[in-house]
Amino acid sequence: MKLLVCGGAGFIGSNFVRQRAGEHGDEVVVLDKLTYAGRRENLADVPHTFVHGGIEDAAAVAQAMEGVDAVVNFAAETHVDRSIAEPDAFVTTHAVGTFVLLEAARERGLRYLQVSTDEVYGSIAEGSFTEESPLEPSSPYSATKTGADLLVQSYTRTFGMETVICRGSNNYGPYQYPEKLIPLMVLNALHGDPLPVYGDGMQVRNWLYVTDFCAGIGHVLAHGAAGEVYNVGGPDECPNIEVVRRIIALTGADASLLTYVEDRPGHDRRYSLGSEKVRALGWEAQVRFEEGLERTVAWYRDNPGWWEPIRSGAYREYYERQYGSSLG
Ligand code: NAD
Ligand code: DAU
């Protein structure tokens, strides 16, 4: 199979390309704009063809789609805090970019998988979201992802195009950019820097090891029914404060680094994703949170060559803007 993977130089995309080009022996073309979050280094050990460009750029999309059998779209702006500070790129990539990709895939009769998120459902106090739960996004990130999902579904309903949507819960694992909770806390803990916990730290996330999400996407790509949505949720839920305490224990950091800071506006309290539908396709999560977190801490500890250039670059400026006053 020849796959076009959009956003394949990012965290989940690069893990997916590694799985497909490795275990599955697929031929993979990666289309990626290389924003701050995308890095060619993430794919250094993986055979692929690379096209540099945005999914909103029809010429780059046409070049990348040459001869492919299916499209998997990971390309996105993915950080909720950045969507609050600067939402512009979220609208362009999620709305315009998804539209350009859909048009090009429709013209060529290609199967199309949209990678989406549990955040489209908003927050749930008890129980778990199903694919039928109402869409109630809270942030510009999740609202624009929701818009993209609806556009994708309209291409099946209106044009009979073969689309599927995969909604994942919070991913963690190797190659995640350190703006996100787990890699941020691991690197800060290793450096003896403060560990900034938003609000009371009792927000709950449903943790999914990245290779499990990639396998779920593979199942849906192969067996998902056109026009359908499939949730792919992690096996464990954990409040943020407990995640940070576990990271302190695994890194041997000083517990006094833990620092409560101002809460995120519109902060969703809890995510929990029911995955019965994708289980019926034969998928099952393989990695429990305790084991996945140990592996993740070990990966960051063993790969300073991956994160040192990030921490010394534009990330510093982002970090100062986001946390400067609260950690000063
Ligand atoms: P990431 O930020 O690590 O990577 C995003 C990638 O997309 C980068 O390589 C970036 O360069 C590229 N990109 C951004 N805008 C682009 C554009 N306009 N055109 C082409 N490429 C562009 O993100 P991630 O965490 O790997 O997330 C990948 C996908 O999975 C996203 O669609 C996200 O919404 C979804 N998702 C993420 C999680 C999570 O916990 N990280 C959970 C569920 C779903
Ligand atoms: O649920 C899936 C989503 O998970 C994906 O769609 C998003 O792309 C991905 O970024 C992630 O969103 P979250 O907002 O849940 O992830 P983040 O790592 O930003 O935050 C996780 C939790 O930790 C959240 O409750 C906010 C909190 N947090 C985060 C940071 C960065 C802190 O308390 N302190 C922090 O410094």
User: In the prediction, which pLDDT does 328 show?
Assistant: 46
Asked if 163 and 155 touch (Cβ cutoff 8 Å), the reply is yes
- Asked whether residue 258 is domain-assigned, the answer is no
Which of 136, 180, 188, 272 to mutate to test ligand 2, by most ligand atoms within 8 A of the CB atom?
180
Pocket of ligand 2 contains residue 203 by CB under 6 Å:
yes
Q: Name the closest ligand to CA 180.
A: 2
- CA-to-CA dists, residue 43 to 28, 40, 177, 294, angstroms: 11, 6, 14, 23
Ligand 1 atom index nearest CA of 31:
20
Q: For residue 140, what are the contacts with CB-CB under 8 A and spacing of at least 6?
A: 83, 84, 87, 90, 91
Nearest-CA residue for ligand 1 atom 19 is 54
Q: How far is the CA of 45 from the centre of ligand 2 (A)?
A: 28
Ligand 1 atom index nearest CA of 54:
19
- Asked whether residue 198 is domain-assigned, the answer is no
Pocket of ligand 2 contains residue 12 by CB under 6 Å:
no
Q: To the nearest 10°, the Cα dihedral for 144, 145, 147, 150?
A: 180
pLDDT average per 10 residues of sequence, the chain (328 residues): 98 98 96 98 97 98 98 98 98 98 98 98 98 98 98 98 98 98 98 97 98 98 98 98 98 98 98 98 98 98 97 92 76
User: In the prediction, which pLDDT does 326 show?
Assistant: 59
Diameter over CA atoms, the chain: 57
User: In the prediction, which pLDDT does 313 show?
Assistant: 86
Q: For residue 81, what are the contacts with CB-CB under 8 A and spacing of at least 6?
A: 179, 264, 322
- Asked whether residue 307 is domain-assigned, the answer is no
User: In the prediction, which pLDDT does 296 show?
Assistant: 99
Q: Which of 204, 120, 180 is nearest to 307 (CA)?
A: 180
Q: Which amino acid is at 128?
A: S
Q: How far is the CA of 122 from the centre of ligand 2 (A)?
A: 13
- Asked whether residue 36 is domain-assigned, the answer is yes
Asked if 8 and 48 touch (Cβ cutoff 8 Å), the reply is yes
Q: Verify whether residue 141 is a known catalytic residue.
A: yes
CATH code at 60? 3.40.50.720
- Asked whether residue 246 is domain-assigned, the answer is no
Asked if 297 and 174 touch (Cβ cutoff 8 Å), the reply is no
- Asked whether residue 213 is domain-assigned, the answer is yes
Angle between helices 240-251 and 181-191 (to 10 degrees): 40
77/38 Cα distance (integer angstroms) = 10
- Asked whether residue 24 is domain-assigned, the answer is yes
User: In the prediction, which pLDDT does 148 show?
Assistant: 99
- Asked whether residue 192 is domain-assigned, the answer is no
Q: Verify whether residue 118 is a known catalytic residue.
A: yes
Overall domain count for the chain: 1
Q: Where are the alpha helices (DSSP H) in the chain?
A: 11-21, 58-65, 80-85, 88-91, 98-108, 140-159, 181-191, 210-223, 240-251, 276-279, 289-302, 304-311, 314-327
DSSP codes, 257-326: GEEEEPPPTT---B--B--HHHHTTT------HHHHHHHHHHHHHH-HHHHHHHHTTHHHHHHHHHHHHH
Strand 236-239 with 171-172, pairing? unpaired
Q: How far is the CA of 285 from the centre of ligand 1 (A)?
A: 21
Pocket of ligand 2 contains residue 248 by CB under 6 Å:
no
Give pTM, 2 decimals.
0.98
Pocket of ligand 1 contains residue 37 by CB under 6 Å:
yes
What domain range includes position 224? 2-171+208-232
